[in-house]
Structure 1
Amino acid sequence: MSNRFLSRCLLIAAACLAALPAFAAKPNVVILATGGTIAGAGAAATNSATYQAAKVPVDKLIAGVPELANVAQVRGEQVFQIASESFTNEHLVTLGKRVAALARQGDVDGIVITHGTDTLEETAYFLNLVVHTAKPIVVVGSMRPGTAMSADGTLNLFNAVSVAASQDARGKGVLVTMNDELNSGRDVAKTINIKTEAFKSPWGPLGMVVEGKNYWFRLPAKRHTTNSEFDIEQIDALAPVEIAYGYGNVSDTAYRALADKGAKAIIHSGTGNGSVAARVVPALRELRANGVQIIRSSHVNGGGFVLRNAEQPDDQYDWVVAHDLNPQKARILAAVAMTKTQDSKELQRIFWEY
């Protein structure tokens, strides 16, 4: 073999090796699928509101968006295959532990969770509280099944993977990426059930994602992920917390029944500033005297904000206020916080900080 020929072979080999890092440097993103509309199917292309959720497995979701390979090396896991209204505390804990385990792996750069939209905001907030990682965690869903005309799931999923693969998404807590917006899992909520722009934050989105590029406008101010005092590794079960709805002519029946069934805290989903009807106050004071935490929240759509000692003397009654968290997110925070403390003053601190 001539030296010239050997030299050419070595040059070709070197060129091939030089090309490998570009491929290897592509971020590794894991998609954890849980079901929901994004995995749904309707009988016809015109079915955007009537369909069966949780029908398409994760491998088909990934195969349906071949452009994902342009932004990341993607693999999927089917964690659950359910409609999200059927999510339980046990599902949350199982999912949280899997996300945390993946986040510890050196070969995982970002994680995407596909999820039904009905309880997507609850899961996103839960993960925001308990998973200790700066790696991007993105929760995504769709308002229309993939079989519908103008289905939104494909672009939502592409954007979610793109964000999860982004260095500039690190350290910003759990994100929800739908309808081209980047929202904090802490703030975002489903505000309507028949439009693709269903998910909104009362204080506005963190940013936008457009054609695979992130544009950031603000940062989350509340404690989350790496700054959280809660750790999924230390949680095997959530505290039993329930929600009772306030309205005109409300009675104390639901509150007493929930406490009788074992609730350790009751989220009062109140009108206005978390207002409590006069006829309900005695029952809530009695329940608190018996050890049940009473947490006042507001069911005002799009931005209920509960002030302490306004409407009710919270200090006197030893009640907690939920700050700006809607009732379902207040339940998540209370269920997590009460794995560590039963003290109402500590709970109030936690509601201010998270």
Structure 2
Amino acid sequence: MHILATGGTIAGSAPSPVDPGYDAGVLGFTALVDAVPGLRSVAALTGEQFSEVGSQDMSDQLWLKLAARVNGLFSADEADGIVITHGTDTAEETGFFLHLVVKSQRPVVLTGSMRPATALSADGPLNLFNAVSVAADPRAGGRGAIIAINDDLHSARDVTKSSTTDVQTFVSPDAGLVGTASYGRLRYFRYPTRPHTADSEFTVEGEVVLPRVDILYAHANMPADLVRASASLGARGIVIAGVGNGNVSSEVAQTLADVASDGVIVVRSSRVGSGDVGRNIEMDDDGLGLVASDQLNPQKSRVLLQLCLVRGLDRGLIQDAFYRY
């Protein structure tokens, strides 16, 4: 079992056990493991300090390096499962990226915490214990990337962060849990129904950069020049965090159509926390040349669109990919 420590709140330190302010990612891999009684009895552990960042600083470049490291460990048969400690802010994005580009059925489990390691009632140690238990369990294989946190197991495709402060922040609002973990006792409810990992068409092997895709947040009286600015600054794709069913104003819709006709791929997602974004319902996607995100929120739509652009898919095939993944 191999642990890749990337930083985050789980490795954070605060001035006192009850201070809400803290520095993320300052504690190393060894300190994380030593804080969890009995962890080394769950599995034979190896690990490394992959990075030391708060997950707000997770980047495309770190994603590419992380995917290469995970795939390398599996292909060299150096790990039966991998645990990634990660900040909670962007764990769902990193998880979904790995869900699509890791080429193994072996378990990949992300975990983190809402409270720093030095906090009163820190949640990180038990989350790490459960994550290692999942990664060491053969039954976890074939489920894609899993986020194990606060006794719940989520598919990285479906999970999202729902609260800025609540320990029970992660939810899978439409699909529900993959399973639960209670002090290493594991229950599984389902497998993801859409392709992932070894069955995914996407790969980033040999890639050194991902295409720029911007997310624009829709709101009442949204200015259309935001769309033009994004396109002019080099975005190859734009994801709209639309109102309701991925909607935007008539003015913005026309501007989206204009940049789409110039080759920018535009995906309509929603700023609403759950539900589908349907094609040609309130907006004429066919006429405007847009893609509907189906079930993916804006941040995950960005990940999938980047990978579609890496593959060189056209708009029609990208729409198919959003239906499949």
Paired with 2:114 and 2:303, the residues of 1 have a C-alpha distance of 23
Match of 1:285 among 248, 257, 260: 257
Larger radius of gyration: 1
Q: How does 1:198-209 map to 2 (within 5 A)?
A: 198-202=169-173, 203-209=175-181
- Residue of 215, 239, 243 corresponding to 2:215: 243
Match of 1:141?
A: 112
Supply the distance in 2 between the matched residues of 1:118 and 1:191 (Cα, whole angstroms).
10
Q: Pick one of 118, 123, 126 that aligns with 1:152.
A: 123
**Letter of the 1:253 counterpart:** D
**8 Å contact from structure 2 (residues 129, 183) kept in 1:** no
Q: Which residue of 2 aligns with 1:58?
A: 29
Q: For residues 304-341 of structure 1, what are the alpha-carbon distances to aligned partners after superposition, in whole Å with 9 as ceiling and x for unaligned?
A: 41000011111122210111111000000001111012
Question: Is there any run of 5+ residues in structure 1 with no aligned partner, and where?
Answer: 1-28
Q: 1:76-225, aligned counterparts within 5 Å?
A: 76-202=47-173, 203-225=175-197
Distance in 2 (alpha carbons) for counterparts of 1:104 and 1:344 = 33
Shift >3 Å, 4+ stretches: none
Amino acid at match of 2:42: V
Comparing 66-75 and 151-160, the one that deviates more: 66-75
The Cα offsets for residues 271-329 of structure 1, whole Å up to 9 and x where unpaired, read as 1100111121121111011111110000102x141000011111122210111111000
Instruction: Please give the alpha-carbon distance, in whole angstroms, between the structure 1 residues aligned to 2:130 and 2:96.
Output: 20
Structure-1-length-normalised TM-score: 0.90
Distance (whole Å) between structure 2 residues aligned to residue 60 and residue 268 of structure 1: 41
| DSSP-derived class of the 1:70 partner | helix
Counterpart contact for 2:261–2:289, Cα < 8 Å: no
Aligned amino acid, residue 224 of structure 2: D
Question: What CA RMSD, in Å, does the superposition of the two structures yield over aligned residues?
Answer: 1.0
User: Is contact 1:32-1:78 (8 Å) kept?
Assistant: yes
The whole-number CA distance in structure 2 between the counterparts of 1:270 and 1:188 is 19
**Whole-angstrom CA distance in 2 between matches of 1:105 and 1:70:** 24
1:73 is matched with: 44
**Contact 1:100/1:232 (8 A) holds in 2:** no
Deviations for 1:208-241, whole angstroms, at most 9, x for unmatched residues?
0122121111221111001100123253321111
> Structure 2: which 5+ residue stretches go unaligned?
none
Report the more deviating stretch, 208-217 or 289-298.
208-217
Residues 245 and 268 in structure 1, CA contact (< 8 A), matched pair in contact too: yes
Which of 309, 314, 318 is the matching residue for 1:347?
318
Q: Measure the CA separation in 2 of the matches of 1:215 and 1:339.
A: 37
**Contact preservation (8 Å) 1:272, 1:304:** no
* CA distance in 2: counterparts of 1:289 and 1:83, whole angstroms: 38
Percent identical among aligned pairs is: 43
| Deviation of the 1:70 alpha carbon | 1.4
**Structure-1 separation of matches of 2:116 and 2:229:** 38
CA deviation map 1:176-209 (0-9, x unaligned): 0001001001110101011111011012111101
Instruction: Say whether the 8 Å CA contact 1:131–1:232 is kept in structure 2.
Output: no
- 1:262 is paired with a residue whose SS is coil
Please state whether the residue corresponding to 2:83 is helix, strand or coil. Answer: strand
1:311-322 mapped onto 2 (5 Å cutoff) = 311-322=282-293
Contact 1:163 1:169 (8 Å CA) reproduced = yes
Using the TM superposition, name which of 102-111 and 192-201 deviates more: 102-111
CA distance in 1, matches of 2:56, 2:198: 28
Aligned to 1:32: 4
